[in-house]
Amino acid sequence: MTGFMLFPVLLIGVAHWLIPSLVPPTVPFGVRVPRDRADAPVVAGWRRRYRAGAAVVTVLAAAAVLLVSGPVTGPAAVGGELVAGLVLYLLARHRITAVKSAEGWFDGRRQVTVADTSLRTDPERYPWPWAVPSILLTAATAVIGIVDYPRLPSRLPTHFRMSGHPDHYAARSVVTAFGPVLVQALLTVLLLAMARAALRSRAQLDAEDPQAGVRHRGFVSAIARALLVMAGCLNLAFLLLALRTWSLIGGGRTIAVGVPALTLLATVALLTVAAHVGQGGSRLRLPDRTGRAPGDGRRGAPVNRDDDRLYRLGLFYYNRDDPALFVPKRFGIGWTVNMARPLAWALLAATLAVAAAAPLLGR
């Protein structure tokens, strides 16, 4: 149990440590800066302070999980980590913004916004071969369930302890028997749709990086494939869960070890890919085909538009003039929503409703 509670604490600690080096250099801690200021003393100093603070908080949270027993210790440790990470981020953002304003980092600069129309006219192709395993696993689970359904006992396990042994049963029905298949189908549709959305997502291009479009293509392609790998791993986990529910395999170890291991593998695979490519492909090493490096400091060279006003606290995007619903995050990996769009609030309400209803449905 302690190990289970310790994992999210360590995972959050690693994420806090990595994020400052995963975001594009022109938006440290959610603050838009010219590329030649990306390593300014205030930026580099707050990267060190943020990481040092995150490391201390992670050690304290891990120690609390290991030394203090109780049902609320794990959630409290994770919550404390998240709050501490947010406080450190806001302190760094505030200080960098203050220095940027005081020193006039954008004064006299030609600020522009760039676009790459080829990302719409010739988007990245959907990697269907990567989606085949998750689709086949869902189909195979459904076929096994249909064939075995007449032989199933009158009562089926519907919940398992962390040891892998069932602790709740329900009468056999299509819903109780094919619950894992339904979850597989929903996961498959969701993750395949997320992969497509990633491939069609709007690029946050860097005016000071001549290969920004190439980076975006590499980023969305890698994330889409990682999501499809995650779909395959999770569907395999639910295949094992279905086989255990139908008593086609025995022993609690299958559930206690196999399912968490596959879930962990899926999570680690996605995080590894994200750490390798960086937000928007900022960490990709690309061959120089332009003859100049990003932000080469030429006189009069354009810089990215100072658009901090559109990102509240560097986290929440709010722009009534932007029709896009999803936009790249400033701090972290992936996308956030445009809070000026009514649909964003509808999605937030739906997410909260599902989270609130899940425990009731479980009971």
Considering Cα of 171, then 172, then 175, then 177, what sign does the dihedral take?
positive
In this model, does residue 360 exceed pLDDT 70?
Answer: no
Cβ pair 281, 24 in contact under 8 A: no
Burial label, 182 (beta-carbon count in 10 A; 0-12, 13-18, 19+): middle
Q: How big is the chain, counted in residues? A: 363
Contact criterion met (CB below 8 Å) for 279 and 23? yes
CA gap 187, 241 in Å, rounded: 15
Same domain, yes or no: 101 and 120:
no
CB 145 within 8 A of CB 181: yes
- Does 339 lie in the same domain as 195? no
* Mean pLDDT to the nearest integer, 186-210: 89
Whether residues 136 and 254 share a domain: the answer is yes
**Res. 208: pLDDT tops 50:** yes
Looking at the fold, whether 57 and 166 belong to one and the same domain comes out as no
Would you state the pLDDT for residue 117? 86
- Please, what is the angle between helix 2-22 and helix 73-103, to 10°? 10
Is 295 domain-assigned? no
> Is 290 inside any structural domain?
no
Number of domains comprising the chain: 3
CB-CB contact of 48 with 21 (8 Å): no
- Rounded Cα gap, residues 18 and 298, in angstroms: 31
Range scoring the smallest mean pLDDT among 50-54, 71-75, 110-114, 211-215: 71-75
Residue 256 lies in a domain: yes
pLDDT range class, residue 167, cuts 50, 70, 90 = confident
Residue range 194-204: mean pLDDT, rounded: 89
The position carrying tokens 């279905």 is 242
In angstroms, how far is CA 144 from the centroid of its own chain? 33
Q: How many Cβ atoms sit within 10 Å of the Cβ of residue 297?
A: 11
| Same structural domain, 53 and 174 | no
pLDDT band at 288; cut points 50, 70, 90: low
Residue 361's pLDDT is: 46
Q: What does the alpha-carbon distance between residue 140 and residue 185 come to, in Å, rounded to a whole number? A: 12
On whether both 37 and 130 belong to a single domain, the answer is no
- Residue the block writes with tokens 């050690």: 59
Q: Clarify whether residues 206 and 278 are in a common domain.
A: yes
Q: Domain for residue 299, yes or no?
A: no
Per-residue burial over 151-164, b = 16 or more CB atoms within 10 Å of its CB, e = otherwise: ebeeebbbebeeeb
Same structural domain, 32 and 94: yes
In sequence order, what are the residues at sequence separation of 6 or more whose Cβ sits closer than 8 angstroms to the Cβ of residue 138? Answer: 181, 184, 185, 188, 235
In DSSP terms, 303 is beta-bridged to 111
Give the best-scoring range by mean pLDDT among 72-76, 164-168, 225-229. Answer: 225-229
pLDDT at residue 68 is higher than 50 = yes
Q: What six digits make up the tokens of 150? A: 């007449």
Look up residue 255 and give its two tokens.
């559930």
CA count, 13 A, side-chain hemisphere, 353: 6
Tens-digit pLDDT profile for residues 244-266: 888 888 766 777 778 888 888 88
Same domain as 157, residue 53 = no
Domain annotation covers residue 289: no
Give the residue with greater pLDDT, 293 vs 118. 118
Q: Is the per-residue pLDDT at 149 higher than 80? A: yes
Angle at CA 311, nearest 5°, toward 305 and 312?
Answer: 145
pLDDT digits (tens, 9 = 90+) for 316-354: 999 998 888 888 999 988 898 899 999 888 888 887 776
Same-domain check for residues 171 and 273: yes
Q: Of 106, 141, 172, which residue is a domain's last? A: 106
144 and 177 assigned to the same domain: yes
Q: Which domain holds residue 191?
A: 115-284
